Amino acid sequence: MNKDRIQGSVEQAKGKLKEVAGKVTGDSKLETEGKAQQVAGKVQNTVGGLKDAVKEAVED
């Protein structure tokens, strides 16, 4: 697991917190920001997964 996967997971969690906070407070902007941050975290996590896969393929 590399830093991209870790950071991506952190961003997803932070985004989920923002989304929930936005729903609870009725702040649609915060909710939307949270959803966007989750997507960005998923992308970063995927990039990290691809890097791991390439690294494993090169080592084999």
The string of DSSP codes covering 25-43 is HT-HHHHHHHHHHHHHHHH
The stretch 3-28 carries a mean pLDDT of 97
Q: Given a cut of 90, is residue 11 above it in pLDDT?
A: yes
3-state secondary structure of 20: helix
pLDDT value at position 48? 94
Number of domains the chain contains? 1
pLDDT value at position 24? 98
Of 11, 23, 18, 45, nearest to 33 by C-alpha is 18
pLDDT value at position 1? 79
Domain span at residue 32 reads 3-59
pLDDT value at position 51? 93
